[in-house]
Copies of this chain bind each other. A is one copy, B any other.
């Protein structure tokens, strides 16, 4: 029996792994930070024997509420990820699993590797509608990739979509894969029509360093990028710095920042109601956007979510608020669950990579629904 995590987005420390019935583990903190919650490791198992894996420091993680009613993901082939029995006692997270095969991967959510990210970028750039731009290097020297979809033109609406500021929220990049698959499908009517009047600026992974390092929430320097949008710096948050600069050059008419939420078992949107320049038009557009989503998929809902900011009380270091304020545009933080959609639960898979992709495709419909109103 052995446990390893030396691979892309791997994160675990082994305290004790002598008996399948008593495996003691701990999640590593993000570098230079106290955040931790993401885990991803490989177990070399005894097939047919129950392995009891206790994450001993679960109770002090960034979002202890995230462990309630949570089930860990497992995979034999790194393609199909299924849920395994998991319990949280307020202190420790206990995963129980009797593997059928000699090795199994476990993760907090279906991982999305940097190799797959590079494949996605190269696939996208081959579209005649897509231009691939390097924004600059991260602190670890990786590439900040921007995809520009649609021929830029002054009169077109500028739509920015960013994902995975928090690298442990891998569903955000699965979402982007679904979103891009549809946007670049030259026989998809909504996509084709959208590209006549809009240009999309897409950053599928805002935090490649944190992603590779197996972080939950920060970049290589331990910085939470989603608190850097008031004053990003090349030293601490180049990822945000580059994107905000590029936004400055293009302008922004609509912004969507894609995330995962550890605790709430729902998809939802958090708006920018607390931003000083928030106005009626934004509100109406936002309602229209939600209305389309509600009308086409039970994966979206508006009952559960974050508390709405009071007027003027928005945290302007947060991406969606900062962008909304700076560009006087509609902006949302979109949240997907780590757990499941409690309105449509799936005991075998929970919220999944596939459902994230489908939700990305559905969100394109919602953008289609408001596109013509963005600049009127």
In the assembled complex, how far is the CB of residue A178 from the closest CB belonging to chain B, in whole angstroms?
Answer: 11
Docked-complex contact A296 and B190, CB < 8 angstroms: yes
Q: Chain B residues near A132 (CB, 8 Å)? A: 101-103
Among B8, B126, B140, B190, the residue within 8 A (CB) of A115 is B8
Tell me if A's interface is mostly helix, strand, loop or mixed.
Answer: mixed
Q: Quick one: given A78-B119, A296-B296, are A125 and B101 in contact (CB under 8 Å)? A: yes
Docked-complex contact B369 and A296, CB < 8 angstroms: yes
Q: Chain B residues near A121 (CB, 8 Å)? A: 103
A101 vs B368: C-alpha distance when bound (angstroms): 29
Docked-complex contact A368 and B296, CB < 8 angstroms: yes
A115 vs B7: C-alpha distance when bound (angstroms): 8
A133 vs B44: C-alpha distance when bound (angstroms): 8
In the assembled complex, how far is the CB of residue A311 from the closest CB belonging to chain B, in whole angstroms?
Answer: 30
A139 vs B8: C-alpha distance when bound (angstroms): 17
Q: Quick one: given A8-B115, A122-B78, are A354 and B187 in contact (CB under 8 Å)? A: yes
Docked-complex contact A4 and B189, CB < 8 angstroms: no
Among B102, B116, B125, the residue within 8 A (CB) of A76 is B125
In the assembled complex, how far is the CB of residue A263 from the closest CB belonging to chain B, in whole angstroms?
Answer: 21
Q: Chain B residues near A189 (CB, 8 Å)? A: 297-299, 341, 344, 355, 358-359
Interface string of A118-149 (1 = CB under 8 A from B): 11011101100001111001001111000000
In the assembled complex, how far is the CB of residue A53 from the closest CB belonging to chain B, in whole angstroms?
Answer: 17
- What is the size, in residues, of chain A's interface with B at 8 Å between Cβ atoms? 59
For chain A, residues 156 to 197, give those with C-beta under 8 angstroms from any C-beta of chain B.
187-190, 192-193
In the assembled complex, how far is the CB of residue A324 from the closest CB belonging to chain B, in whole angstroms?
Answer: 24
Docked-complex contact A7 and B296, CB < 8 angstroms: no
Q: Which residue of B lies closest to A130 (CB)?
A: B102
Q: Is A42 an interface residue (CB 8 A)?
A: yes
Docked-complex contact B193 and A7, CB < 8 angstroms: no
Q: Chain B residues near A141 (CB, 8 Å)? A: 4, 6
A75 vs B118: C-alpha distance when bound (angstroms): 12
Q: Quick one: given A140-B6, A354-B187, are A292 and B298 in contact (CB under 8 Å)? A: no
Docked-complex contact B78 and A101, CB < 8 angstroms: no
Q: Quick one: given A141-B4, A296-B369, A358-B188, are A44 and B134 in contact (CB under 8 Å)? A: yes
A78 vs B192: C-alpha distance when bound (angstroms): 25
Q: Which residue of B lies closest to A1 (CB)?
A: B134
Docked-complex contact A193 and B115, CB < 8 angstroms: no
Query: Which has the most chain B C-beta neighbours within 10 Å: A2, A140, A190?
Result: A190
In the assembled complex, how far is the CB of residue A297 from the closest CB belonging to chain B, in whole angstroms?
Answer: 5
A46 vs B33: C-alpha distance when bound (angstroms): 39
Docked-complex contact B6 and A142, CB < 8 angstroms: yes
A-B contact pairs, 13 of them (CB 8 A): A4-B134, A4-B137, A77-B126, A101-B126, A102-B125, A103-B121, A103-B122, A103-B134, A187-B349, A187-B352, A189-B299, A296-B296, A296-B365
A4-B141, A6-B142 are known contacts; what are 7 more A-B pairs with Cβ within 8 Å?
A2-B134, A6-B137, A78-B118, A103-B134, A187-B346, A189-B344, A189-B359
Chain A contact residues, CB within 8 Å of chain B: 2, 4, 6-8, 42, 44, 75-78, 101-103, 105, 113-116, 118-119, 121-123, 125-126, 131-134, 137, 140-143, 187-190, 192-193, 292, 295-299, 341, 344, 346, 349, 352, 354-355, 358-359, 365, 368-369
- The 7 residue pairs across chains A and B that have the minimum distance between CB atoms: A6-B141, A189-B299, A193-B298, A187-B354, A115-B115, A102-B132, A296-B365
